[in-house]
Chain A
């Protein structure tokens, strides 16, 4: 023993010093500490609400103690059983699920067929007015999807649920129910709204696509059809898959359109079934429904990621010497223009114009001079029960407008900044697990459609949590939820920016003697100014028009423009609601224009955000 002791203690001393060396090098800047703080933050604000909600699905709620036969918090299959195999499960779960499946399948088929064709037309052919069309075709994505629903009602409403006359009715026709409400209009509207996705994704892929690949197949004797199906289509597969998943995830989470066109005639999708469960205070049931949406959403995104991974080997598309030859349309020239123009007409011009006209007409569709009015915008002393003045003179409208700007603005700024820091930690952290965790956890809201994420926030923050009081009905819950839901885009933008910069500029500052804070403030943030601006503005624009996330969380005192518009729809003030929708479009247009103007980002980057 005595002989061994010195050698032994020397060895321990050595390994302690090794450890000390490791720690010192790791702690020579606070990246790790920062990473851990960020991880905790996101674990709390993103991970735990989702887990809490899933947990709610399998434990007994206070209100259901008697029915579920157990005390609050006990593990139970009651809600699952009720949702999946009880007498009411058809209404609550299976029919909405079937509807969701039908709608999203149809939307995917329509958008892929139309979108690929249009994407090809604007990217690879000599289509007349190509540049103009490629902007015009994206317009439907810039306006909120439920705006189209309002426009649809303005055009096709019938007497089934009453209210204002529609344009078609003013023409003396009575549109059938299937055309006025339900699955058909929902499908058409979602398809029109998400068409730009596919056009952009496929168009961008085709734009990078090297004509030489087609040429070499042609010189080998392949016919144009064979080239199209054997060469072009397989190479486009990744973007087509991405577009399809995105469209599916969006359909899954979309509340507004169904709320306006389906709910009045009792047609539910999963999202509106969830909305109903929550508004009737059924916590356990809503957790099950939200869980189902999360599972479908997550599954589709994960499948997408998987498929894209296997498609990685195609990334050689469009190397250095890529040639982009335009296809001459020849005698198809005019049909192509007419086709594209009519898509623009149907998907943007007609709905927005009709929507606008309803706000300046007493009775929609009646074109006489005395029928035109500005009452809904700036009138006062109107003969209505409430809202006795035009929208622009209504206090609530401006409050909702201001709420939208400051809440979405705060959330976007916070998300943009933290996204950059997440990017920093992910790229720089010497501890791989911290980096991996941050990357995954900030991505999580992407897998959870807006309405389900809102449900998760409710299950966590509607009751007091330790020192934090119940946040239901406060602006805090809205800002936090908006912030968390914007993290996927913000952190991916941050990671991409950081990867692009490389670590040398920062190392150069290290060598110059600058400490961590100094480096962050003088080097890292200023270099990423551009990324920061678009990382804030793009989520801001999509946040302004979003409804699914906030519809559950806003109360009359904390209305945003979107929820205010829906409230007006509920009370039957159709024209006022349409006016608000128009104002949101205006703000979204200006925002988009500003982003393009400031440059460095284009709309396609914002997709999925």
Chain B
């Protein structure tokens, strides 16, 4: 039976890729392990190896084709003795059809296809009529670092695979080429060591950007982040501080299970001495990363792998810097407040769309910074709506939602018409199985339901 070669998934979050090049032609014999084609994703170019022996019968997707969905048949391999005169449409993929084959559990929210409307002007300091460029979160972060590195030669980037490999998630793409190996430093795998070394360099006046391949690995460095970076200014009576950014992807990725899928927002936000930033839009990522690099304090800058590839409008300004500590009203409304941050915003915004269909006007607040938290913006909104739902992917106990609830008890008790309600990740380690993973994360439906509950609908 002829065998279909399918467009492979080459990373946990890949949904489509470009078929850059065919290295074999129709009629060529192929052995298992031969490289037959090259595929480009937003992260990298990769080789496709044949897994079966035979003859390359027909190329179904020509080279140069962009956006080929994962699992699309791209070619057919014929076994010995088979000729090319097959009805290709009827050729079955080699695998048994995997009745319940879980596809990529988390389809990236549709923002990429449909960039959100430029929301109530990103910031007051964007002049009327400023031109917008559409860019991905990944590009916005890279541009922010590059701009700050051009501006201040004490700024440098350090981390695993940041230089020659161009970043494990390609966030530091091109920085080595522009700034050289002294300022874009590949480290050994030694998080505690290089985080501490970074803090030391910061104590001596440099401005390190320490990239953690993911924040899961920053746990190795927790002592240096908290006991050294966060506390030295205090312990030295204000003499010595560290202007340092710890950045990298945080939160659940797709199908990587408990040790690689967790949200540390609440952990870091607990620590006096740290600032904690967790944006959602590319514009906010850019403006806040620039602010974080300039900030004289240690800043934990939480990114999100699933957001990296999403596109948003970003103001075309020479120096777009946003204030740390200011929330943003992403969508105004009078009936109920939904407050979230980072990827939680995708649930919040979709829930607001759903609620609008039922004539409920939700006000959606994007916190952007978790510490210092912009209590005022939340309180002002609650004064208007009297009802609030918090949304986060992290665990509920002592989470960001719990903190907001406490602040509202202290600052807006009389304005509340319903209990503060939290939507959070389930109180379990992240499971690997596709169905359980879905259950462990919050859903848009849960947010809608919570909003209706506080509205007593």
Chain A partners chain B: no
Binding site for B on A (CB under 8 A): none
